[in-house]
Amino acid sequence: MKILLTGGAGYIGSHTAVELIEAGHELVVIDNLSNSSVKSLRRVEAITQRDIVFHRVNLADLSGVREVFSSESIDAVIHFAGLKSVNTSLRDPIRYYQNNVGSTLILLQVMAEFGVHKLVFSSSATVYGIPQELPVSETAGVGFGITSPYGRSKSMIEQILTDASLAEPKLQIAILRYFNPIGAHVSGRIGEDPRNTPSNLLPYVSQVAIGLRKKVAVYGQQYPTTDGTGVRDYIHVVDLAHGHLRALDHLRSGVSTYNLGTGRGYSVLEVIEAFSRVSGRDIPLEIVAARSGDVAMSFADVEKAKRELAWVAERTLDDACRDVWRWQLQNPRGYDD
Ligand code: NAD
Ligand code: UD1
């Protein structure tokens, strides 16, 4: 298939690009590079020895998106493009809704104009808000206790996709709710490259391990978990990428929603311990106040993806730490090296 990746230059998009190309697909990427560099795509080309067609276009630009669809014959779309900082979304909610919700509406409009009906969408476990059950399954309520405009933008898009599919039965949509993506490609050539101070745990830990930052601030040790620190379901980005391939293969009429996680949770202290062991570096830490909006525990019920997509995450937390460390050592300043 010829597949359009919106936001394909980003962290998850670039890793998915490698796996799609290796599975024989042709790729077209739209990205405005607001949170990425075209170097990631050049490295994907180097890994796969194949070309990627790249359009530097803002997905909110209707005529720009139309031009791409008229110059390429697209079979399916994977929609990664979006802004993803929880903090920034609290400060600038309008920009988040405009960029995330607004550009999805434009994408859906142009897909309809060009008769493209297959769509895989990057959603997030954040739509579960405060999970009402653990492990959290796709049938759990969404929307209760979502703490940021970022999270609400994902929930709104899910609703829009559901409404669109009710009105157009030809649409085949998979909504993928990612848990906590971590890791990097095993080559060490592509990985997560935060532009500012990382707000997610793994990139921060990795920068402490290499000496770019002094210590990890652990957000709270009063949660009802084994060691008091927050528990999350960390999924290797290459496993996540494979989940997209399976979702594409199993697309069917209507909207199907899948959790992509491992089904197992690790605490913040367990993650730091694993990274320290794998890297052989000391990782200083300090327990500080809990971060507002954080939940104690979140991990996925992964049975639906296993049953319907024949997909399970195969890589371990140690694998992910090893791959992040290789990426960090080879690219201490990310794609700027
Ligand atoms: P990323 O920032 O690395 O990639 C997103 C890409 O989209 C970037 O390359 C950015 O330049 C591009 N983009 C943003 N707005 C655009 C626009 N209007 N037009 C064109 N391009 C635009 O983020 P990521 O980690 O790869 O995340 C990909 C998707 O997965 C996002 O939608 C994110 O919300 C979702 N997600 C990510 C995580 C995570 O922890 N990384 C977790 C759950 C869901
Ligand atoms: C966060 C976002 C979520 C988003 C996801 C992926 C919040 C409240 N949630 O999820 O919406 O989809 O990232 O981008 O921001 N931690 C520390 N010290 C740090 C960083 C994190 O102790 O410096 C802890 C957190 O308290 C949490 C765990 O590590 O317990 C994981 O944090 P993080 O990587 O930010 O992911 P989430 O909070 O799960």
- Ordered by start, the domain boundaries in the chain are 2-183+234-262+300-313
Strand 76-79 to 2-6 pairing: parallel
| Residue 182 to residue 322: CA distance in whole angstroms | 11
Check if the beta carbon of residue 133 is closer than 8 Å to that of residue 140.
Answer: yes
User: What value does the mean pLDDT take over residues 94-103?
Assistant: 98
**150 is a catalytic site residue:** yes
86 three-class SS: helix
CATH code of 2-183+234-262+300-313, in short, is: 3.40.50.720
Given a cut of 90, whether residue 138 has pLDDT beyond it is: yes
The position carrying tokens 């971590």 is: 182
Given a cut of 80, whether residue 316 has pLDDT beyond it is: yes
HEC assignment per residue over 225-292: CCCCCCEECEEEHHHHHHHHHHHHHCCCEEEEEEEECCCCCEEHHHHHHHHHHHHCCCCCEEEECCCC
Residue 270 Cβ contacting ligand 2 at under 6 Å: no
Q: In this predicted structure, what is the pLDDT of residue 193?
A: 96
Check if the beta carbon of residue 29 is closer than 8 Å to that of residue 20.
Answer: no
Q: In this predicted structure, what is the pLDDT of residue 143?
A: 82
| Residue 119 to residue 105: CA distance in whole angstroms | 13
Please return the burial class of 95, using the count of CB atoms within 10 Å of its CB with bins 0-12, 13-18 and 19+. Answer: middle
Q: In this predicted structure, what is the pLDDT of residue 131?
A: 92
Given a cut of 90, whether residue 77 has pLDDT beyond it is: yes
Rg (CA), the chain: 19
Q: In this predicted structure, what is the pLDDT of residue 140?
A: 95
The DSSP output letter for 24 is T
> Which amino acids bring their CB within 6 angstroms of ligand 1?
7, 9-13, 30-36, 58-60, 80-84, 99, 103, 122, 124, 178, 181
56 three-class SS: strand
At 101, the pLDDT band (50, 70, 90 cuts) reads: very high
Given a cut of 80, whether residue 337 has pLDDT beyond it is: no
At 123, the pLDDT band (50, 70, 90 cuts) reads: very high
Higher model confidence: residue 94 or residue 293? 94
Residue 293 Cβ contacting ligand 2 at under 6 Å: yes
Ligand 1: residue whose CA is nearest its atom 21? 31
pTM (predicted TM-score): 0.98
Give the up-direction half-sphere exposure of residue 191: CA atoms within 13 A in the CB hemisphere. 30
Higher model confidence: residue 318 or residue 333? 318
Average pLDDT, the chain: 97
Residues 6+ apart with CB under 8 A from 331: 188, 191, 193, 337
Pick from 92, 151, 87, 97: which is nearest to 125 by CA? Answer: 151
At 8, the pLDDT band (50, 70, 90 cuts) reads: very high
Q: In this predicted structure, what is the pLDDT of residue 144?
A: 82
Given a cut of 90, whether residue 228 has pLDDT beyond it is: yes
Catalytic choice (150, 178, 204, 223) = 150
Residue 201 Cβ contacting ligand 2 at under 6 Å: yes
Please return the burial class of 213, using the count of CB atoms within 10 Å of its CB with bins 0-12, 13-18 and 19+. Answer: middle
